[in-house]
């Protein structure tokens, strides 16, 4: 049976040390057909050169630095797949996650997306102050890198907010919840999040400020809509194995 094309989008900014391994973890997936799109977001290191060496296995785009949301959006716009997946340029996909998540969406056509779990991995020398989980624990996060998405959900919810650089994922998932998106959290690891000194999410003061902006926007949308408040206290009302 023919399977649908999946497009994997990787926004890249100064990830020269990690990019090749990240792409390898995607190309090593047992799912085909698969399109891999690397969007270099104005890197000042050798990231673009690394990406170019990976042709023709990957498509490579380059833009002036505009942030991860803008890079993901550009990837979404050029992607040809019916389904979309994402990875940060320094993370790793778990083997077999793409076939598994595709199977979930085929079995449950009412789902807009399926999210897996994230395993944390701390690179040597990372400050213990930023260790918010054990490496032995897999957790559910608002993470594009842990999910597989039907293209149509981006038409309903819209693309990512490009003025946000640290909380664009939380903002999008909140808007998806407001639009009535349906998703499932599967109890399997989808990605390894590599924590190192240069992570974008390491900029805690700026990230916290953006979270307040995201919450204020959500409150404003609810006031304007005049509807009952949407609950944001849980990632999803459904987990694998539960109804």
User: Which residues, listed in sequence order, are joined to residue 59 by a DSSP beta bridge?
Assistant: 37
**Cβ burial, residue 91 (10 Å; 0-12/13-18/19+):** buried
Please give the pLDDT value at position 229.
Answer: 66
Query: Which tens digit of pLDDT belongs to each residue from 179-221?
Result: 999 999 999 999 999 875 554 454 555 666 777 777 788 788 8
Cα 10–Cα 37–Cα 96 angle in degrees, nearest 5: 70
Band of pLDDT at residue 128, cut at 50, 70 and 90: very low
Q: Say if CB 230 and CB 215 are below 8 A apart.
A: no
- The model's pLDDT over 45-83, given as tens digits with 9 standing for 90+, comes to 999 999 999 999 999 999 999 999 999 999 999 999 999
- The domains of the chain, with CATH numbers, are 6-225 (3.90.550.10)
Sign of CA dihedral 165, 86, 139, 109: positive
> What residues does 118 pair with on adjacent strands?
139, 191
């Amino acid at each position: 049976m023919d399977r649908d094309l999946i497009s994997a989008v990787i926004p890249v900014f100064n990830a020269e040390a990690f990019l090749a391994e990240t792409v390898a973890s995607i190309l090593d997936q047992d799912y085909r057909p698969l399109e891999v799109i690397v969007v270099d977001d104005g890197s000042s290191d050798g990231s673009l050169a690394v990406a170019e060496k990976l042709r023709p296995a990957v498509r490579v785009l380059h833009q002036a630095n505009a942030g991860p949301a803008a890079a993901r959006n550009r990837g979404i716009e050029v992607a040809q797949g019916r389904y979309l997946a994402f990875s940060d340029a320094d993370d790793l996909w778990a083997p077999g996650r793409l076939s598994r998540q595709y199977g979930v969406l085929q079995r449950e056509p009412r789902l807009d997306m399926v999210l897996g779990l994230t395993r944390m991995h701390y690179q040597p020398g990372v400050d213990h102050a930023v260790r918010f989980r054990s490496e032995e624990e897999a957790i559910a996060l608002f993470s594009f890198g842990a999910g597989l998405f039907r293209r149509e959900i981006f038409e309903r919810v819209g693309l990512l907010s490009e003025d946000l650089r640290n909380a664009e994922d939380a903002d999008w998932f909140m808007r998806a919840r407001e639009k009535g998106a349906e998703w499932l959290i599967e109890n399997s690891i989808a990605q390894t999040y590599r924590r190192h000194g240069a992570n974008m999410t390491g900029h805690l003061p700026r990230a916290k400020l953006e979270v307040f902006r995201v919450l204020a926007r959500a409150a404003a949308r609810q006031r304007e809509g005049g509807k009952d408040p949407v609950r944001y206290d849980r990632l999803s009302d459904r987990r694998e194995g539960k109804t």
